[in-house]
Amino acid sequence: MTDARPRLLPILLLLQLPAVPACSSGDDVPPTCNLAAEAAVVVTLLDADQQTPIVGATLVLSEGSYSETMSDFGDGTYAGGFERPGTYRVDASAAGYLPATVTDVLARSLPCGPETQNLTISLDPAPVQPAEISIVLVWQETDGTVTVETGRAFR
């Protein structure tokens, strides 16, 4: 015998919410927060001479005993301190550049996470050190005489 009753199948409803800022509220209304992790500090790292982004650098965000290497987005933008308000120090270094440090970066606590601080840090190219090159010239004359001369050059 077959059961003639219709079967009820569980249905999963997906509710699409409009994109909202990480924290928004009006007067007398509690804030509405989204689920995105908010960075306390976002840095744009530039070459001081060319004003072009520096990629592949190392930026360290620290506060007291806390320290983290900031996320590198591959376009000269770095972020860190996700969901962690604080007063930070940022140390930036990259091959071919002089390092730089920014202190007292305050990311205040808000109801939905830290108040993101956007910084631009410009790194000066490292000076090129002159290199001494030793030169040794050896040649043989047609009469079989071998001559050796040494010298130095700078570039």
A 10 A CB-CB count for 112 gives 20
pTM: 0.66
Sequence letter at residue 135: I
DSSP strands (E only) in 97-155: 100-107, 109-110, 113-114, 117-123, 132-140, 146-154
- Domains annotated for the chain, with CATH where assigned, are 36-123 (2.60.40.1120)
**Are residues 78 and 43 in contact, defined by beta-carbon separation less than 8 angstroms?**
yes
DSSP 102: E
Would you give per-residue pLDDT tens digits along the chain (155 residues)? 555 554 444 433 333 333 334 555 456 677 778 888 899 999 999 999 999 999 999 999 999 999 999 999 999 999 999 999 999 999 999 999 999 999 999 999 998 889 999 999 999 999 987 777 777 777 777 887 777 777 665 55
**Are residues 119 and 43 in contact, defined by beta-carbon separation less than 8 angstroms?**
yes
